[in-house]
Amino acid sequence: MTSLRVVHYVNQFFGGLGGEDQAHVGVTVKTGAVGPGRALETALGDGARVEATIVCGDNFATERAAELAHAIAAELDRLKPDVLVAGPAFGSGRYGLACAHACKVATDRGVPAITAMHPENPGASEARRGVCIVPTGASTIAMPAALAALAQLARRLGRGETLGPAEIEGYLPQGRRRVHDRGRPGYQRALDMLLDKLDGRPYRSEVPYAPPERVPPAPPIADLSRARIAMVTTGGLVRKGNPDRQVAANAVRYHRHTVAELESLSPAEWEAYHAGYFNHLVNANPNYILPLSFLRDLERQGRIGKVHEHIYALPGVSTPVAVSAGHGRGIAADLKAAGVEGALLVAT
């Protein structure tokens, strides 16, 4: 049996370089399988080998994509693999974008490529038309199942096989219209599904639907006069000039700013950076987006206990639900650790 040569792309965490503190590191290449690549190699089975692992920090991949592309292309030309495998990235937005980018580089050079991530990952939203993406859960708990599904399709792509329809093969739909005869007219299939539903039998709709999550409301704060209140916004508030390099849409992280010494938000020091609404009103008075001046009045009047010293901001527009949920969990954990009793969530 001909050996299947694989190149694997991972970020700094799975490459063993470190966590978020190493997200800036550039591209390194390690011989053989590293981290989850060892389990990937096992899942690929006999006759397959991870020849090399390309490791890159998530921030580097996002901010210096051209350099990453050049490095990946050089390794592909050197190793001449049968397939490139990236990830899995699960719900990690920057990692997902980097995996999608790596796959595009490979595909452009004639090397089959595949990745895996949560369907709501921004990498999936951006690249699913041109990249084969295996759906995964949102966290690394789903690693064994993700690698098994990834390996199965990677083997076939590496051997030159053409994959069938997404709903049969198990990758994310790519939005391509193809002429296909289902064998029975649509009205008959619709009636069959209706009868199955009414009789309690399993059925599958031909129109995918993801119902919105129902979130129970939090209980009321017992005594606002003693409560610490924080402010969170998806309106894209940034310091003047955007020194923290916040993006205008599809947020891959949130930003925390200190306001402990401020009575209000001045247009000389704050502005909006957001692609989803008309920013000029906020730029004239940033307190429209986060009403710090009003909360300070309530604090002085004793109607609330204290304004939390940090505010949290990101642009909510175009951010997938799974990524947004991850941001929310991170902010909530930070607020809980700081003893915050309530948060004012300001939309745009």
User: pLDDT of 151-170, one tens digit each?
Assistant: 999 999 999 998 888 878 88
- Residue 202 inside a domain? The answer is no
pLDDT (tens digit, 9 = 90+) per residue, 298-318? 999 999 999 999 999 999 888
| Residues 138 and 275 reside in one and the same domain | no
213 lies in a domain?
A: no
Q: Tell me if 248 is assigned to some domain.
A: yes
Q: 129, 151, 169: which is the final residue of a domain?
A: 169
- Is the confidence at residue 204, as pLDDT, over 70? yes
More confident residue, 192 or 215: 192
Number of neighbouring beta carbons within 10 Å of residue 300: 10
Give the residue carrying structure tokens 């010293």: 309
The answer to whether the CB of 299 falls within 8 A of the CB of 307 is yes
Taking the C-alpha atoms of residue 335 and residue 181, their distance in angstroms, rounded to an integer, is: 54
The answer to whether position 214 is within a domain reads no
Enter the pTM of the model. Answer: 0.61
Per-residue pLDDT, 329: 87
Report which secondary-structure segment, H or E, holds 50: strand 48-56
Whether 25 and 148 map to the same domain: the answer is yes
**Residue 343's pLDDT band (cuts 50, 70, 90):** very high
> Confidence class of residue 132 from pLDDT cuts 50, 70 and 90?
very high
State the average pLDDT over residues 109-120.
92
pLDDT band for position 2 (cuts 50, 70, 90): low
Q: Tell whether the model's pLDDT for residue 211 goes beyond 80.
A: no
* Domain extent at residue 147: 4-169
String of DSSP letters for 102-119: HHHHHHHTT--EEEEE-T
pLDDT: is 214 or 286 the higher one?
A: 286
Q: Give the CA diameter of the chain.
A: 79
Give the pLDDT band (50/70/90) at residue 46: confident
Q: In the chain, what percentage of residues exceed pLDDT 90?
A: 63
